Amino acid sequence: MRLWSLHPRHLDPAGLVALWREALLAKAVLRGETRGYRHHPQLQRFQAHPQPRSAINAYLAAVHEEASTRGYRFDRSKIGPVREVESIAVSSGQLALEWTHLLRKLEVRSPAVHERWAGTPGPDCHPLFHRVPGPVASWEKAV
């Protein structure tokens, strides 16, 4: 499971579809609807949020918005109510790691998308997150 901290606009089609599915799985986990993935490190940020379910809905809403912009038809009814929630801090080190990881994936899977982003200084954050200085997150597994 990879719940990207970077903005969904940076993902290629396969990455955006995978993010939608993985975020829906995360929502099910946070709602207690599945026994698997309950201790997955990617969920720690959401579990620590004062409103975990609202936070994942806000996360999904931004993914849905990007998908809609691209003409995809993700099922909006799967998100649930979207409320304004406190943003989640993401460190500059975490964003840098994810950016490098994504660029490696894109180089192989989607060369045109890789070329679009390779010359940029770095990613925008997912709208749920805000950037703060710091190292890679302690929950991150080596990629």
Strands (E) across 1-143 are located at 88-91, 129-132
Amino acid code (one letter) for 141:
K
Please say if the pLDDT value at position 136 is more than 90. yes
Q: Average pLDDT in the 57-79 region?
A: 97
C-alpha torsion sign, points 39, 24, 139, 13: positive
Strand partners, 78: none
Which residue, chain included where needed, has tokens 């192989």?
Answer: 108
pLDDT value at 97 more than 80: yes
What distances in angstroms separate CA 118 from CA 3, 122, 123, one per listed residue? 21, 9, 10
* Separation CA 50–CA 103 (nearest Å): 32
* In the chain, % of residues over pLDDT 70: 99
Place of tokens 């599945």: 34
Reported pTM: 0.94
Length of the chain (residues):
143
- CA–CA distance, 39 with 45 (Å, rounded to integer): 12
Domain segments of the chain: what residues?
8-132
- Tell me what the mean pLDDT of segment 126-140 comes to: 96
